[in-house]
Each structure stands twice: as structure tokens, then as C-alpha cells.
Structure 1
Amino acid sequence: MDTLLLPFQFPFMQKAFWIVLIVAPPCALLSCFLVLKGWALMGDAVSHAVLPGIVIAHLAGLPLLLGAFAAGLGSSLLTGFLAANSRVKRDTVMGVVFSAMFALGIVLNTAFPSELHLDHILFGNMLGVGQGDLITAAAIALPVTAVLALKWRDLMLHAFDPAQAQVSGLRVGALHYGLLTILSLTIVATLTSVGLILAIGLLIAPGAIAFLLARSFGVMLIVATGVTLVAMLSGVWISFYLDSAPAPTIILVLTGIFLAALLRRNLVARPG
């Protein structure tokens, strides 16, 4: 038993477990809406687009999270504007805009050398999380979780049928841009723990797993949250014994759960 509890005795592991508990709920809830709305690529795109904002904020002496949020939200709004005012489809516009933003971030970081650790931004540094990182993540994650939990029915209707949502009297524009804002904020909250690239997994896998296991959207939200908490906590715990990075280990655990859920779905659908 002492061996199993060994990771909890180290302060850096304790902080890793705390950051997991903080960021798991908003990532899980948001993942369900992204999967339902078909915005999986949007989560991927925004996570890459925040890089130039981080580099510029660092060079200007501003908080990195502020630059990340501004770049992510700005790129999302630009994508929506270009898609609405051109013949090019939204997914194509996203591919162009967000890949360009990611490339711009790398070029800026190379052109203006600094002590900014790009690998920590891209892949996270969960074992180096400090007290300030925990406070910042909590300040973002708690309001985001509260909004998603309170407005999930409105967001669900908007995801299923925007026209029906508008007829029902909902402010479709506010819901659309509100969801983009929440997406940017959630990526900012996970920045110090799992990084930009691995955040994609947290924004897609939980919703995909819950979609395979649940039969209603309300249950889907609960399943996604539970699965994400289990995967992230167990991933950090396993990484301690494997001497591996926690964030990639978490993604591998989520991938394993997804494959198991997919297998179960196929077996239930074809019992014979």
C-alpha cells in the first residue's frame, strides 16, 4: 500500500494531481459540445493559434495567458469572418489561418531569442506547476465549468439546431461567440499543465468516449467528466512509476479508454 501511495508524498506530484482536478471538468464538458457541434478541428486549430500571442506577450512583458487568450479568440473570430465572406469552407479557412498563426509563433520565437521555453508551451510542464499556476488555472476553470453546467441546455440546442435555437428566443450569436471564448479560456487554463499540442486530446477524446457510452446529452456530460478525471489522475499516477511525462501518459490512457468504448459499442450493436 505504501508503494501505491508513494506519488502522493512528493510536493511536485501533489501539485500535478491538483492541476488535474482543476482542469479536467472544463475540458470534459467543453469536449462534449465540440464533438456534438463538429468543432473538433476548431479545438485543434485554436490550441495552435495561441502560440504567437504567447511569444508577443513575452516580448512585451505582458502575462503570457493574456497573449494566448487574445490570439486564440482573435483567430477564431477571423476564421468566422472569412468563412462568412468567402466561398471557401470553414474547415479550409481554419486550416489556413491557424497553421499560419502557429508558423508565425515559431518564426517570432526564432527571430527574437529569449528565455521562453517553447517545449514547455507546446507540451506542458505538469511536474513544474507552481502555486501561482494552480490559482490561475482555478480562476479560469471554475467560471468556465459553472457557465457550461448552467447553460448546457441552451448550448446543446444551439449545437443541434441553431435555427431552432433562434426561433426559441435564444441569442444564437452570444452562444456562438461565448463558446469560442470558453474554448480559448480552457486552452489557456491547460497551458501550463498539458501544453498546446496535448490539449487537443483533452478537448476531443472525453466527448468522443462519452458519445459512445451515453444515450442522452445530460448523461454524456457526466460520463465525460468522470472519464476525464479517472484518466488524468491515473495517467499522472502511472507516469510516476514509468518515469514518463504525465501529459502524454494521460492522452494514452484516454486513447485506451476510447478504444475500449468503441469495442464495447460494436459488440453491443452486433451481439451475434
Structure 2
Amino acid sequence: MVVDILDILQYEHMRNALISALLASIACGIIGTYVVVKRIVFISGGIAHASFGGIGMGYYLGINPVLGILPFGIASALGIGWITKRSSLPEDSAIGIFWASGMAIGVIFLNLTPGYAPDLMTYLFGNILTVPFFDVIVMLILDIIIASLVYLFYKEFLALSFDEEMTAVLGVPAEKLYFLLLCLIALTVMVLVRVVGIILVIALLTIPAALSRQITSDFKRMIFLSVIFGGIFSTGGIGISYMFDIPSGATIILVMSIFYFAYSLFRGKLNNLLS
């Protein structure tokens, strides 16, 4: 088995896949915890799917589609946040509008692009085994940005997650922090899109954090466990997908889901054994 693992690591695409999985686990562990605690999962889904417009734009302009996601993701995050805070339009309606508009823009750009987009499915459903080294570098830079901003504003984000109104009363610029958090979600989507794709981003953002929340109520430990779970499930999913030649993104999510439901079912028995 050790020899097999060493043999696998000789391939550049497998090394890139494992590094990408670890980088993705950092982003989804940190931001996913805030997403779950603040209950903005569907805002995250709206940002993720609206970012599909950036993929279409990237193909149309002839640039790396991952880079094309950034302006659409940030614009969608700020747009959803602004409409939610400044207009009478319900939050779910705003999410639906951006969700549908982003996907439509992506389809139009792809239709206008000469030729055929051969790896489009990797952006919809992910294929971590095809991540190039350039994307690994982009993911590393984004992870550093995300971790640095969360470190700088940890207390403010923590207060915002549990009681936004009280945060504003205390003089903290809650609305600006909310917009910043949505932008961090957009950056996280960029990190995760090559791992599981636009369609499955929500799962990777929420399942590790939701599992860690069942285990601890301490926020720092929750983030730490989310990162650990994300890394274990992602690398495990890669191994299974490689062994059975099945889609990597879907396999990673399936592994996470199985562990989550298994823990939920046997949580009481596990607690009794440990007590």
C-alpha cells in the first residue's frame, strides 16, 4: 500500500489534486463555519451559481475561467448583499435573480465563444484530477487572503455571525463586515470550483462545518475541525475516485454526506461510549 501511494504521488496531476484538496479544506473550513453559523447557505449557493457567468466570460475572452469567476463572484456577493439590506425585495428573491442571471450570462458567453469548451463539465461538477499548477497557486493566494482577513476581523465576524443587530449597536460597522463576508464567500467559491464544481460548492462549504458544529460549540474548535474534516474527506474522496474511476467532486461530497449522516444517526451512542 505504501508503495502504491508513493507511485501515485509520482504523477504531477495527483500531487496537484492532493494539494488542491488541502487548500480547499482550509477555505471551506474557515468560511463554511461562518456560513453555517450565520445561516446564509443559500446566499452562498446564489454567489456560486452566479459565478458561472465568469466562467463563460473567461472562455469568451480566452483567459483562465477561474480568473473570470472573481469579478462575477464579487459583483454577485455585493449585489445580493445590497439588495438584501437596502431594498424591500425578499432575500430569497434576490438570490434567485442573481442565481438565474449569472447562469444565463455564462450560457450566452459560452454560445458566443468560437469552438467548443472541452472542460466545461469540470467547472460544473469539478474534477480535481485535472487541476493545473497555475490554479494551485491561485488557490494558495486566495487561501492566504481569506485566512488573513478572518484573522484580522475574527472578533467582528464572530459577533456578526451570532447577533448582527447587537454588533451594529456596539458601533461595529456590521453592514460593511457583512459585505466583506460575502466577498470572502466569493473568493472561497473560486478556491472550491475546480475541486467540486459550481453545482456542489454548497455541500463542501456546509457539510464539514455542520459536522463540526455537532461536535463542539467552541467557534475556534469548530473552524479547526471543519478544516480537518474537509481535508480528510477530500483526500479520501480523491483516493476512492481514483481507485474506481468515478467523478472526483461527486465522490468527495458523497463521502462527506455518508460520514455526516452516520455521525448524526449514532451520535447518541458515541456520546454514551465517550462519557
| TM-score, L = length of structure 2 | 0.89
2:10 aligned residue: 9
Change (3 A) 1:199 1:146: same
Segments of structure 2 that go 5 or more residues without pairing to the other structure are: none
Matches within 5 A, 1:20-35: 20-35=21-36
Distance in 1 separating the partners of 2:4 and 2:68 = 42
- The CA deviation string for residues 24-60 of structure 1, in whole angstroms up to 9 with x for no partner, is 1111111110011111001111111011122123323
Change (3 A) 1:90 1:269: farther
Give the fraction of aligned pairs with identical amino acids, expressed as a percent: 25
Distance in 1 separating the partners of 2:103 and 2:25 = 25
**CA deviation after TM superposition for structure 1 residue 4, in Å:** 5.2
Q: Is the 8 A contact 2:60 2:112 kept in 1?
A: no
2:179 aligned residue: 177
- The CA deviation string for residues 134-155 of structure 1, in whole angstroms up to 9 with x for no partner, is 1111111122123224433321
Give the RMSD, CA atoms, in angstroms. 2.3
| TM-score, L = length of structure 1 | 0.90
Larger mean Cα displacement after TM superposition, 262-271 or 21-30: 262-271
Distance in 2 separating the partners of 1:90 and 1:80 = 9
- 2:223 pairs with 198, 221, 224, which one? 221
Change (3 A) 1:84 1:221: closer
Change (3 A) 1:213 1:264: farther
Distance in 2 separating the partners of 1:264 and 1:157 = 32
Change (3 A) 1:5 1:256: farther
1:237 aligned residue: 239
1:81 aligned residue: 82
Distance in 2 separating the partners of 1:200 and 1:215 = 22
How many corresponding residue pairs? 271
2:203 aligned residue: 201
- The CA deviation string for residues 3-32 of structure 1, in whole angstroms up to 9 with x for no partner, is 455433332211111111122111111111
Distance in 1 separating the partners of 2:226 and 2:111 = 39
Larger mean Cα displacement after TM superposition, 70-79 or 179-188: 70-79
Distance in 2 separating the partners of 1:245 and 1:268 = 32
Distance in 2 separating the partners of 1:174 and 1:19 = 30
**CA deviation after TM superposition for structure 1 residue 257, in Å:** 1.7
Distance in 2 separating the partners of 1:264 and 1:164 = 37
Q: Is the 8 A contact 1:52 1:106 kept in 2?
A: yes
One-letter amino acid of the structure 2 residue matched with residue 208 of structure 1: A
One-letter amino acid of the structure 1 residue matched with residue 210 of structure 2: A
Segments of structure 1 that go 5 or more residues without pairing to the other structure are: none
Distance in 1 separating the partners of 2:67 and 2:133 = 18
**CA deviation after TM superposition for structure 1 residue 92, in Å:** 2.4
Q: Is the 8 A contact 1:213 1:265 kept in 2?
A: no
Distance in 2 separating the partners of 1:86 and 1:174 = 16
